[in-house]
Chains A and B, each alone.
Chain A
Amino acid sequence: MTSENNKERSMPVLTLTNLAKRYNRKVWGVRKMDLEVEDKEFVVFLGPSGCGKTTCMRMIAGLEVTTRGSIILHGKDITDLPPRNRDISMVFQNYAIWPHMTVYENIAFALKLQKKSRSEIDRTVKEVAAMVKIDQLLSRIPGQMSGGQQQRVALARALAVKPKLFLMDEPLSNLDAKLRVVMRTELKAIHQRTGATSIFVTHDQSEAMSMADRIVIMKDGEIVQVGTPDDVYFRSADMFVAGFIGTPPTNFFPVEMKTAGEKVELSHPRFAILISGSDADRLKNNGQNSLILGVRPEEIKVVPEKDSLLSVEVMVVEPQGSFQIVAVEIEGEIVKIVVGSAGKIQPGERLHLSFVEERLHFFNAETTKRI
């Protein structure tokens, strides 16, 4: 137990160095992965399909041969070890519960192979079954169970081995929307209780935001950004991250920069905005005049006409209960705005908008990187 203020970095549990995977000597699944995972951390690999997140997890599990690089777990190089010698466990997307075994046998499988005593196996199985609330189902066979129950069995099986590293490959994506949110909370609670270092793969950014200590955002087999949910949301490393994280995602406006004394002016065909302070300094130092301005939907405000930056006509309104998403068209691009639910907005209505200036994002128009 370390005390709260003693926050020195401990040795990483998992270190990936220059990890890469190529299929058939031509197609790169993962180009380059460098990552350190801390003890008890919950790390989420997030990215669109085909970005290499699952391949990377399968390499950590030992189910894919690595083309290059190394995987160190608790100081031991496991790059070329078979899965059974890696001290890991895994929850598969399609559960992969063995249909010819009862729930009890499924959970006890690994323990039996470890030659644990009968009483110890029995104790562990009952303990983890209670943790995921399937203690009533131990004698059932998986064919008689719902998807949610099977997912719980997969979870119990993975918890039973008390691994050094807990891998989860899109474990919630086969569940219905309501159950997914329930399981999300339970998984987080289980993680807090067991403290097992975990890697979780998903393509669902809201799942990643709600569960992760740190999110690893991947694209085309490479890491784009590693950071806390706040990091990736408020300080997105590039336009890909800004456009991937958040529902609805960041709105982008191409702007031209002009220096105006201490300040800089960003001009768009429909509006011009003055930037001051450290943001202005950064933009001046950057030197480029063509930029992309990124504004999160909730950082566009509806204001009285006299304070407004621009006025637009409402195209579509999507009520969400506690808020509404308003879509407007600005220079041929759809821009989405999150507005509180007070005061119903109608399509065709004119809105006067302004931006929250301290929360603007600036990106290089060519490299798409954050400025």
Chain B
Amino acid sequence: MNDMLHHPFVDNPGSPLPEIEGHISHGRFERVLRAGHFAVTTEIAPPDSADAEEVYARAELFDGAVDAINATDGSGANCHMSSVAVCALLSHIGYSPILQISCRDKNRIAIQGDILGAAAMGVCNVLALTGDDVSAGDHAEAKPVFDLDSISLLTTIKTMRDESRFMSGRHLDVAPKLFAGSSINPFVPPVESRVLQLKKKIDAGAQFIQSQYCFDMPVLKDMMKRAVDMGLAEKAFILPGVGTLASAKTANWLRTHVPGVHIPDAIIKRLEGAEKQKAEGQKICVELMQEVKEIEGVSGVHVMAYRQEEFVAEMVKESGVLEGRVPWAPEN
């Protein structure tokens, strides 16, 4: 099994891996999940820079600890290097990035072009998001596009990949072989319908799901139980998101200012009571990873450590969720 995950490269690490029957993409992330391993993913913050070295340096922090790296697409409606470019750079040296596509900035013409371009540059995974509104970011005066929404985007990816055509019907010479995913937030109203929204995304073509920050384990467990009962955990790989909080103050700011972030009071109290809040935040994150791993129907965990990226590898190691497995990383 490990041979399959650590395939010796013929030319260079950026070359596509050999096709495996039953797999959609050539990518390593799909292989890890389909092999039944508990997968770990994380997020890279695309730099405010035109320097590729900065992208490599940020990715290197996760070496040996994660199976795939999400490249955010103007997260929080703030402008950064494009996710397509970050993913192309990372794919080229062998990493397994997940291309996040937000519907906020591009219409269906631009998005479909990006999907083809990204696949041509070796990108194997894509995450369909509706995206935050422009008012949340540093260019509040920009025009919000929202031509598609996340589910329409999943339909688009699936159509291009499986039917080898654009949404207009025009034929594609080579279809983009992308492993498609989307996100879910189990904690915001209408909480009882969130599992139905999850089902809708899976019906639309999501093969993996990464969730918003999960700090409220009972709510997550309740949704996962319903998802398992509905057979959704067999249809898609579900990776709940966990995060690390730098301090009680940060946690409070996050939950009041960032849309969709739900942090229970108990977590804030625990941080407030800690002598070293940052270390306590990381301890909480490690515990959450361990707790997530025990939930039935879960295929992995998505670690979000904005501005604490350098601690991700350490936290993953400490949690033991990989059970000694070392994810692929470039040889330096």
- A and B found bound together: no
Instruction: Give me the interface of B with A, judged by CB distance under 8 Å.
Output: none
